[in-house]
Structure 1
Amino acid sequence: MADILIVGAGPTGLTAALSLAALGITPRIIEARTNASNLSRAVGLLPGSMTIFDHLGIAERVRGEAVTIEEARILRDGHLAVDLRLDADPDPNVRLLSLPQDRTEAILAEALAERGVTVEYGKACKGLIQDESGVTVAIEGGEEIRAHEVLGADGAKSAVRQALGLKAEGIELPEDWSIADVELAEPVPPATTIHLNGAHDAVFMIPMERSRVRLVSNTSDALATFGPGLAIARVRREAKFRISVKQVPTYRVGHVALAGDAAHTHSPVGGRGMNLGIDDAAHFAEALSDGSLAGYSAARHAVGAHTIGLSERARKTLLGGSGTRRTVGVTLMRLASRNPALARKLARTIILG
């Protein structure tokens, strides 16, 4: 019997596994995919995640590959409206980093393997049964895994959550969003740029490498919304997606807990989704280690609700409602960015929440 089984080997599951291993608890970790992901997906890493990575001994590896985002720029209908330094805080840890998710996952998996734990790929959870002493997880193909505790870190369509009969509560945004992972012919500055077009359309450009950027738009075509001006060498990937702003009512049922997108989802505005999952994972490992799992659900539900609220306020200010709300929000940010003290406070708020 495994002491702990983690379902899902994204950043949340891998962080949970590595955190447990660092605490002397050897988990099993399974993943429905047949191999590691090569998709960039989420890219932003906040100071809280880097503190966790410091404790896990991988922060320097991450910093060695990541781009430190030095500025945030907002363009309104092609004109620069806000230019805010994000690296002005005297604390060098108050920084926003950008790294493709597949590289974050690879670094976590390498560190986990160094501790003797490898991801078991091609093992999809098909259901589970609980009793007083633990959980039996059914794996596609007929295998069963018995564990004292299970962590569902298997994403927004979580099979573990479905097996628990839990429903994420909230709303689904009606519009299509889109992403593009693009290699450029020339290097880009280490700045996040937000292009606001008209009253509603927007596209975010986030550097991931010296000449590689992520575009995210609240329209169905990120490249078209960005418009001319990108010297594109290669489009690695384009995709459309819908956004759910949801959270489960409880993060733990019996011997089964949820973390990451299995427990909560929100818009990518603010870049907090992956970081919230990493934080869930570290807290789950600590709670399991010190015997405080009974408080895990309430504590993480509160943090999740707070983060969803931050993301929604930012989304509605920049992307939702009327053009007037967007104008007011951008104007206030422009005024703050011109005052050094207010600019540092604003940057700190954006980075730390």
Structure 2
Amino acid sequence: MSAAPQVLIVGAGPTGLAAALFLSRRGVPVRIIDAAETPTATSKALGVNPRTLDLLEPTGVTARILAEAGTVARLHIHRHGETLAAVHLDQIDLGARFPLAILPQARTEVLLTEALAARGVAVERGQALSSLSQDAEAVITTLSSGERVRTPLLFAADGAHSTVRKALNLDFPGDAWAEPWQLIDVELDGPPADEAWIDFRDDAVFVCLPYSGTRFRLIGFGPPMLDNLPEGWRAGAVLWRSDFHISHRMASAMSLGRVALGGDAAHIHSPIGARGMNLGIEDAYVFADCAADFLSGQLERIEDYDRLRRPVDKAVVRRVRALTSFVRNTGAGADLARRTAIPVVTRLPFLIERVARIGLGLDHPVVLR
């Protein structure tokens, strides 16, 4: 007979899957549920950063990601199509053991799910959380099937509209920006397959990221992006498109009693900087360490999770918001700043390394104590 689950994980995106995998490797029996009947087929995240690859390496998932992933060698920054700077990312030495890997989130989730299955843990799909309460010894939940579940701990990785966060009455303060942004995955003829591209325009920003082969991701706001491609580029099949609004929010606490939040359930920010999925996997790694210690008798460790993660995540949200504000500002002052600052900054190694550390997830250590 299998051991009774010690942690119920709500949400089987990359954060929840990683938490289940890290806990399982520590010998902690887990149960993971997700309200969706099937895994997502679309991919919000593309970049798996060096920090995430470090954390996942002992699980075997890193080797599988690198076997499939592409990389970004250069970043070209333009203004109205004219080059402001070209940054050779493959020549910046930050001491990382791994590169920034480009792999669709849906594929990363498949690899995490397979690694978890190899340890005897399967995602229970079509199972939503209906209610939650706590007592001195356990978290008591009711699932959509009517089943009542009692576990020592619960980890919520159920997204920006987290049912768990709402059940705990935790605030999710922050701000939202009014303008709609576009996200398009499309076949393109023209851009290099290993190069990221940013073009600052009068009333818009245009970002192009390599995806896989001739597939690219376009992100931006303003006029329709496919009608305003750079000269010489041609669009083919559109694979996926979505309009969205950007918010930057941070939960008022990342744990309450025996319940902890991770990933988008705890913090959200713009896709600029490629930090969302990666930050959630960091949360999962630290939670797994705290939870395993708590379950072995170190009762103070569950309170460490909020203390260790919330300041880090809050700082990342703040930095990403500042970076995105710089990108989205189309005013004359911002245009002058970009024209003058970007060529200078990209020629100063200590400054470009500082910016690169934000994008590669190397702007802070992962602290377990």
Q: What range describes the TM-score normalised by the shorter chain of this pair? A: over 0.9
Encode CA deviations 1:230-274: one digit per residue, 9 max, x unaligned: 332311111111121111110111111100000001111111111
8 Å CA contact retained: 2:158, 2:264: yes
Contact 2:70 2:102 in 1 (8 A): yes
Match of 1:166?
Answer: 170
The question of 1:10 aligning with 2:13 is answered: yes
8 Å contact kept, 1:217–1:225? no
> What is residue 295 of structure 1 aligned with on the other side?
304
Amino acid paired to 2:167: A
Residue 188 of structure 1 contacts residue 210 of structure 1 at CA under 8 Å; is this kept in 2?
no
Partner of 1:315: 324
TM-score scaled to structure 1, two decimals? 0.93
Unaligned regions of 5+ residues in structure 1, if any?
none
Report the Cα offset of residue 150 of structure 1: 0.6
Change in CA separation of 1:129 and 1:224 when aligned onto 2, cut-off 3 Å: farther
Closer/same/farther in 2, CA of residues 151 and 219 from structure 1, 3 Å limit: farther
What 5-or-longer segments of structure 2 have no aligned partner?
295-300, 364-369
Separation in 2, partners of 1:221, 1:146: 50
Q: 2:111 aligns with which of 94, 103, 107?
A: 107
* 1:67 CA drift (Å): 1.2
TM norm structure 2: 0.89
Instruction: Say whether residues 1:128 and 2:132 are aligned partners.
Output: yes
1:38-187 equivalence runs, <5 A = 38-90=41-93, 91=95, 93=97, 95-185=99-189
**What value does the CA root-mean-square deviation take over the aligned residues?**
2.0
**Secondary structure of the residue that 1:276 maps to in structure 2?**
helix
Q: Deviations 1:102-139 (Å, cap 9, x if unpaired)?
A: 01101100111111111111111122121111112222
Instruction: Report if the CA contact (8 A) 2:194-2:210 is conserved.
Output: yes
Supply the distance in 2 between the matched residues of 1:218 and 1:134 (Cα, whole angstroms): 46
SS at match of 1:180: strand
Structure 2 CA distance for aligned equivalents of residues 265 and 110 of structure 1: 27
Inter-CA distance 345–4: structure 2 relative to 1 (3 Å threshold):
closer
Quick one: structure 1 residues 251 and 186, their matched pair in 2 at CA, closer, same or farther if it must change by over 3 Å? same
- Kindly state the Cα deviation for residue 222 of structure 1 after the two structures are TM-superposed: 4.0
State the aligned residue count. 352
Structure 1 residue 237 and structure 2 residue 246: aligned? no
| Identity across matched positions, percent | 35
Partner of 1:332 in structure 2?
341
